């Protein structure tokens, strides 16, 4: 397992190629990228430009066909499935466009699930979860189920879930795409605050100008290449 | 691990109708199998009880070759065994019998018959074949009266005989010679058992001994005990105290192998039926779980993305299967218990469906009472639980094969 620079994210000539019959689609094409600790970065580009594929490669949900992806210094190419799972569990938080909360769990339980998977002592859960719920304005909603929440509230729960395990990196795929502009702005402010206060590295994908405007760094991507 | 089970349990309530139908299938199948098992247990107990009372007793003494050859010459002398009865613990009663195959002739017809020589006074009130209501006309044979006979009503009809009419019974006597005697119908018997109604002639034991041309010899001594539990020790005791080579000690299982065969056959029928139900329920569970997992592939993708490993995913799906099983088992046991409590007290009357009350040579009561078979119920519940877990293995494997990136992308387009 090679241990490169301690940047949360380092990509070296990474390509991801999909095969569609006789055709090859270069979803990500020879991308070199470094994201430093504490950055609040957005991957911006039109639909189909390769943003989600790039996030999946960084998040260890997919593997590159060419090149190398380093997360917190570890090459994902060389990690086994088990090691990749542990990497995601302890070092990466995910936020998805469709919130993807577990509908049978309450707000508190959705957030708690990460700690349970990590195997943390149950007696310590509350001490970790309650401050996060308070910061995200979710304290009064802790016993509600996702279907009892608005889209903005659900996405705030998703944010809480993504940071509760103290990851080095949070990957958010179009986090504001399903929200109205006011809710989206408030969510971005919240995440920016977390980034500033906790020094968590955030990497978004989005084509929303408001999100791009809030980011401290913008990486533009088109046809799988950084432009 | 408890959170995985909680998660699995709550997932049952996501598609309530589908879970309800699956739980209903498990509960219904378990209800049916437990009920049938308890009904079988009740009927077997009744068969055995009646078989013991009307047939061999718990223990029986025969000539060692009598059971295999059924020849009338294999008799033993009462004096060879009577002393041994004093040492039996928990003796309810002991009855001597003779069984003589023969031919009965009236002035109009003839028919094969089975002559049963009995100590009538001891049999009445104990032998379920000789219930008072079965004597539809006349009276039972009197002790020591050599011409009194009770005849099966169908046999009497065949021979065109009525009460107080005379007929001749012809048998092979102890010396192998054909011997016949004249009898008079003192009573007519209608039991519902074809073997008895069509063939039986019941005589006082003395009268049957006279027909066989023996003094005080019998074919059988049926010993009824207070409890089944006393069989083993009394068998040992009897074998110790009887020294005659012309007498063997047998358990009711050895004496009535046809009854054991019937019970075994019926038990296997039950097992076959239960196996088909297991198969159907198993397919139902697989179907439910596969549908549930296919619908939730995005969710499994999210869980994998968040760091849940394949064994945790597998455990979660298996817990769902276990939760389905536990809910089904709870309702199945509850409903079958309620029904069995009722049918254990009031019974089920099968008399409209039963033509012949003979089962393996034993009279069966058409009203069958269920009897609680705790071991059987535990076995069935365990089987259903294991079946549900087994049926969840394939869906669990499917869940671990979901590709997170693909599943999230497809799920995100909802």
Structural domain boundaries in chain A: 37-64+80-226
pLDDT tens track for B283-329: 988 888 888 888 888 889 999 999 999 999 999 999 989 998 999 99
pLDDT tens track for B152-180: 999 999 999 999 999 999 999 999 899 99
Check A98 against B411: CB less than 8 A apart. Answer: yes
At B313 the pLDDT is 92
Distance from CA of B386 to the nearest CA of A (A): 26
Distance from CA of B40 to the nearest CA of A (A): 43
Check A113 against B306: CB less than 8 A apart. Answer: yes
Backbone dihedral angles phi then psi of residue B235, each to the nearest 5 degrees: -65, -45
Angle at B108 between CA B106 and CA B113, to 5 degrees: 45
Distance from CA of B47 to the nearest CA of A (A): 53
CB A212 within 8 A of CB A44: yes
Could you say which of B309, B405, B408 has the minimum Cβ distance to residue A82? B309
At A1 the pLDDT is 44
Distance from CA of B25 to the nearest CA of A (A): 24
Could you say which of A62, A96, A112 has the minimum Cβ distance to residue B412? A96
Report pTM: 0.75
Tokens standing for residue B351: 């008399």
Please check whether residue B402 touches A, CB under 8 A: no
At B358 the pLDDT is 67
How confident is the model over B137-164, as a mean pLDDT?
A: 93
pLDDT band at B66 (very low <50, low <70, confident <90, very high): very high
Chain A interface, best mutation among B304, B306, B406, by max A CB count within 10 A:
B306
Question: Comparing C-alpha atoms, which of A32, A31, A55, A25 is closest to residue A42?
Answer: A55
pLDDT band at B63 (very low <50, low <70, confident <90, very high): very high
Chain A interface, best mutation among B2, B307, B405, by max A CB count within 10 A:
B307
pLDDT band at B414 (very low <50, low <70, confident <90, very high): very low
Query: A2: helix, coil or strand?
Result: coil
pLDDT tens string, chain A, 227 residues long: the values are 444 456 788 999 999 998 888 888 889 999 999 999 999 999 999 888 899 999 999 999 999 999 999 998 889 989 999 999 999 999 999 998 888 899 999 999 999 999 999 999 999 999 999 999 998 889 999 999 999 999 989 999 999 999 999 998 999 998 888 888 888 888 888 888 888 888 889 999 988 888 888 898 999 999 999 98
At B144 the pLDDT is 83
Query: A70: helix, coil or strand?
Result: strand
Check A96 against B307: CB less than 8 A apart. Answer: no
At B247 the pLDDT is 93
- With a cut of 90, say whether residue B397 has pLDDT above it: yes
Check A100 against B404: CB less than 8 A apart. Answer: no
Tokens standing for residue A21: 């019959």
- With a cut of 80, say whether residue B365 has pLDDT above it: no
At B413 the pLDDT is 42
At B360 the pLDDT is 63
Check A100 against B304: CB less than 8 A apart. Answer: no
Distance from CA of A21 to the nearest CA of B (A): 18
Please check whether residue B1 touches A, CB under 8 A: no
What is the rounded distance in angstroms from the CA atom of residue A126 to the CA atom of residue B290?
A: 35
pLDDT tens track for B18-45: 889 889 988 999 999 999 999 999 988 8
Could you say which of A94, A97, A104 has the minimum Cβ distance to residue B305? A94
| Chain B residues in contact with A61 (beta carbon < 8 A) | 304-305, 404-405, 408
Q: Does the structural domain A37-64+80-226 have CATH classification 3.40.1190.20? A: no
Contact map slice: B 13-42 vs A, CB within 8 A: 13-14
At A211 the pLDDT is 86
| Chain B residues in contact with A88 (beta carbon < 8 A) | 305-307
How confident is the model over B243-259, as a mean pLDDT?
A: 88
Check B306 against A116: CB less than 8 A apart. Answer: no
At B357 the pLDDT is 67
Rounded mean pLDDT of chain B? 89
| Chain A residues in contact with B411 (beta carbon < 8 A) | 98, 100
Distance from CA of B402 to the nearest CA of A (A): 11
At A181 the pLDDT is 86
What is the rounded distance in angstroms from the CA atom of residue A156 to the CA atom of residue A151?
A: 9
Tokens standing for residue A168: 């080095």
pLDDT band at B356 (very low <50, low <70, confident <90, very high): low
């Amino acid at each position: 397992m090679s241990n490169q620079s301690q940047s949360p994210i380092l990509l070296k000539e990474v390509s991801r190629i999909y095969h569609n019959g006789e055709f090859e689609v270069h979803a990500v094409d020879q991308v070199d990228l470094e994201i430093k600790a504490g950055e609040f970065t957005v991957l911006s580009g039109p639909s189909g430009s390769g943003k989600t594929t790039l996030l999946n490669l960084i998040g260890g949900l997919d593997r590159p066909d060419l090149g190398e992806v380093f997360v917190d210094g570890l090459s994902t190419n060389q990690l086994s499935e088990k090691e990749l799972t542990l990497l995601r569990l302890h070092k990466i938080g995910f936020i998805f466009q469709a919130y993807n909360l577990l509908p049978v769990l309450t707000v508190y339980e959705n957030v708690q699930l990460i700690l349970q998977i990590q195997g943390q002592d149950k007696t310590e859960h509350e001490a970790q979860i309650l401050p996060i719920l308070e910061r995200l304005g979710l304290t009064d909603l802790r016993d509600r189920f996702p279907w009892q929440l608005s889209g903005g509230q659900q996405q705030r729960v998703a944010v809480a879930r993504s940071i509760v395990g103290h990851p080095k990196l949070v990957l958010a795929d179009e986090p504001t795409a399903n929200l109205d502009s006011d809710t989206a702005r408030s969510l971005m402010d919240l995440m920016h605050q977390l980034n500033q206060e906790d020094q968590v590295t955030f990497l978004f994908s989005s084509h929303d100008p408001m999100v791009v405007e809030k980011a401290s760094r913008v990486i533009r991507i088109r046809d799988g290449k950084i432009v | 691990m408890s959170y995985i089970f909680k998660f699995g349990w709550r997932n049952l309530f996501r598609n309530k109708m589908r879970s309800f139908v699956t739980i209903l299938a498990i509960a219904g199948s378990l209800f049916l199998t437990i009920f049938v098992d308890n009904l079988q247990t009740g009927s077997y107990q009744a068969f055995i009880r009646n078989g013991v009372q009307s047939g061999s007793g718990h223990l029986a003494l025969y000539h060692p070759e009598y059971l295999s050859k059924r020849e009338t010459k294999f008799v033993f002398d009462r004096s060879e065994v009577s002393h041994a009865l004093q040492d039996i613990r928990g003796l309810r009663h002991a009855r001597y019998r003779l069984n003589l195959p023969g031919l009965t002739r009236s002035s109009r017809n003839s028919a094969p018959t089975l002559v049963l020589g009995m100590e009538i006074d001891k049999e009445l009130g104990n032998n379920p074949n000789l219930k008072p209501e079965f004597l539809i006309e006349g009276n039972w044979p009197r002790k020591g009266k050599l011409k009194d006979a009770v005849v099966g009503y169908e046999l009497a009809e065949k021979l065109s005989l009525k009460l107080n009419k005379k007929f001749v019974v012809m048998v092979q006597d102890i010396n192998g010679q054909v011997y016949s005697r004249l009898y008079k119908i003192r009573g007519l018997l209608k039991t519902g058992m074809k073997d008895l109604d069509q063939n039986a002639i019941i005589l006082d034991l003395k009268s049957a001994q006279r027909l066989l041309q023996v003094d005080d010899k019998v074919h059988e001594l049926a010993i009824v005990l207070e409890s089944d539990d006393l069989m083993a020790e009394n068998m040992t005791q009897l074998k110790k105290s009887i020294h005659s080579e012309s007498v063997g000690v047998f358990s009711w299982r050895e004496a009535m192998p046809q009854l054991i065969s019937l019970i075994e056959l019926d038990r296997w029928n039950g097992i076959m039926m239960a196996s088909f139900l297991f198969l159907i329920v198993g397919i139902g569970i697989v179907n439910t779980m596969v549908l549930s997992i296919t619908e939730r592939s995005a969710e499994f993708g999210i869980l994998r993305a968040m760091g849940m490993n394949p064994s945790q995913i597998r455990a979660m799906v298996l817990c769902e299967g276990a939760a389905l099983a536990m809910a089904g088992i709870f309702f199945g046991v509850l409903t079958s218990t309620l029904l069995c409590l009722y049918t254990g007290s009031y019974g089920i009357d099968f008399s409209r469906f039963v033509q012949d009350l003979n089962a393996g040579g034993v009279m069966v009561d058409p009203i069958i009472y269920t009897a609680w078979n705790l071991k059987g119920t535990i076995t069935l519940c365990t089987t259903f639980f294991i079946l549900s877990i087994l049926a969840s293995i394939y869906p669990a494997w499917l869940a671990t094969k979901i590709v997170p990136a693909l599943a999230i992308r497809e799920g995100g387009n909802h």
